[in-house]
Structure 1
C-alpha cells in the first residue's frame, strides 16, 4: 500500500507541474496578444506597462535596442506616439495600425520563471483619405510582416515582457505589393540617445529587410531530432549562388 501511495503522490506532483507549465504558457500567449491589441489602438502607456522593470529588459526594433523602462517608454510614448497620434495615448480618427499576433511557439523554463516565444505579426496600416491633408503621413497605406523572438519573466507571480525582439521581415506598398518594395524601404536607427532624443540606447549590427530572406533563428531545437538548424541553412544566397556569398546568418544575441 505504501508504494501505491508513493506512486500516487508522484503522479499528483507530476500533474501539478504540468498544469502549472500549461497555465504559464497560456498566460504568456495572452500577454503577447494583449500587447498586440493595445498597440493596434496606440495605447502606448498600456504597452509599456506590460514590460518588466528589470535592469536588463529591452525592446529591439529597427536596428536599435531601447533599454530598461526608460528606453521602452522613449520608443512607444516618445517616438511612436509623436509620429502616429501627435503625442496622445490612444487612437486618432482615420488612422489604422493593426498588429495581428499569431503562430505562437512558447517554451517555459524548468523553474517556471522565464519563457521564450516566437510569434508572427501581419500588419495592415494606413490613413483614410479624409484625414490625408491633416496627418503628417498623408495618404498612405501599407502592409508589414515580421517575426518576434521574445523573452518573458515572471515577477511576483505575474508574467511580463522581458526582451521583445522584433525582426521586420517585409514591407509593401498596398497598391503595388511586395514585388516592388525598394531595398531599405524603412530606415534603420543610425544615432543613439541622447544625440537622438527618441533614439535607441545602442545600435544593433544586424539588420534585414525584404528582399533579404535570411531566417530569424529559432529559440528551440527541432522537435524530433533535437538539433539546431545548421547556420548555413539560415542564410539566403542568390538563386544558384554558393551559400558563402550570402550575408552572415542572423543570431538572437
Structure 2
C-alpha cells in the first residue's frame, strides 16, 4: 500500500469517527431540547420531534402510544388537557421542570439509528396563588425517572423514534419518598378508543417505587463487554433470592429495522 493509499484510509477512518461523534452530539441535543419544550408544556413542539415511522411510540406508566397519532394523543391530548387546559405552552403558577441528564448515546455503524439512556429529576407543583383555579389544587411533588430511547435519522435529521420513559419514583414534597403511598400515580389501564386519550396497548410488568428493578441498559459493560445478567436487574427484598422478585424489566424492540 502506497503512502497516499494509507493516507486516504486514515482520512476515511477519521471522517467516519467525526460523523459518529457529531451524530452522538446531535442525538444528545435532541433529547435536551425535548426536555426544554416539555418543561414549558410546548406539546406541539414535542410531538414534532418524533419520527413518522410506523414503529414510532412512547411508553409511559405501563402504556404504549403507537405511531405519530399516538404520540400526539399523549402530549397534545392527555398532557395538555390535564396540565394546561388544552393550550400549547405554560400556565401561570404551574411548575414542571425535569432536566435531562447523564446522557449515554450510542450510534449504529451506519449512522442511521441510535440509542440513548438519560435520567430525569423532576420538581413540579402549583403556586399557592393558583390553588383555587388550577385543577391540581395546591400540590408539590418530586419525580425521578429513566429514559431508554431510540432515535432515527430521517432525511438527514435526527428524530425521536421510540421514547421509553420509566418514572422510577414519586414523592410528595413535604413527606418525601420514604412515605410514598402505593399506586401513587396509577398505571394506565384503559386503551384507546375506550379512553380517548389512552394508550394503544398496555405494557407488561410496569414498575414504580418502592419497586427498584433496573431499567435494562441498551449497552454492554464498557470493560467486560457483557450485558448485566437478568437476575441482577431484579429487586428482591433484603436477604431474599432474586427468584422471589418480580420478573426483570425488558425493553421493547421495533417491528422493523427499515
Q: Same fold (TM over 0.5)?
A: yes
Deviation at 1:246, TM superposition (A): 0.7
Deviation at 1:242, TM superposition (A): 1.2
Cα displacement string for residues 168-188 of structure 1 (whole angstroms, at most 9, x for unaligned residues): 100010000000001211001
Q: Distance between the aligned counterparts of 1:232 and 1:93, measured in 2?
A: 46
Runs of 4 or more off by more than 2 Å in structure 1? Answer: none
Q: Distance between the aligned counterparts of 2:235 and 2:65, measured in 1?
A: 28
Q: Distance between the aligned counterparts of 2:205 and 2:106, measured in 1?
A: 25
Residue matched to 2:126: 127
Deviation at 1:227, TM superposition (A): 0.4
Deviation at 1:140, TM superposition (A): 0.1
TM-score by length of 1: 0.99
Q: Give the number of aligned pairs.
A: 252
Q: Distance between the aligned counterparts of 1:246 and 1:82, measured in 2?
A: 37
Q: Distance between the aligned counterparts of 2:205 and 2:3, measured in 1?
A: 56
Pairing 1:1-253 to 2, within 5 Å after superposition: 3-253=2-252
- The SS at the match of 1:21 is helix
Deviation at 1:145, TM superposition (A): 0.2
Q: Distance between the aligned counterparts of 1:163 and 1:111, measured in 2?
A: 18
Q: Distance between the aligned counterparts of 1:56 and 1:244, measured in 2?
A: 33
TM-score by length of 2: 0.97
Cα displacement string for residues 97-128 of structure 1 (whole angstroms, at most 9, x for unaligned residues): 00110000000000100000000000000000
Deviation at 1:26, TM superposition (A): 0.2
8 Å CA contact 2:70–2:199 kept in 1: the answer is: yes
Cα displacement string for residues 64-90 of structure 1 (whole angstroms, at most 9, x for unaligned residues): 111111100000000000100000000
Q: Distance between the aligned counterparts of 2:222 and 2:125, measured in 1?
A: 39
Q: Distance between the aligned counterparts of 1:132 and 1:164, measured in 2?
A: 32
Q: Distance between the aligned counterparts of 2:185 and 2:16, measured in 1?
A: 45
Q: CA RMSD in A?
A: 0.6
Q: Distance between the aligned counterparts of 2:72 and 2:80, measured in 1?
A: 10
Cα displacement string for residues 181-221 of structure 1 (whole angstroms, at most 9, x for unaligned residues): 01211001111000000000001012100000000000000
Gaps of 5+ in 1: none
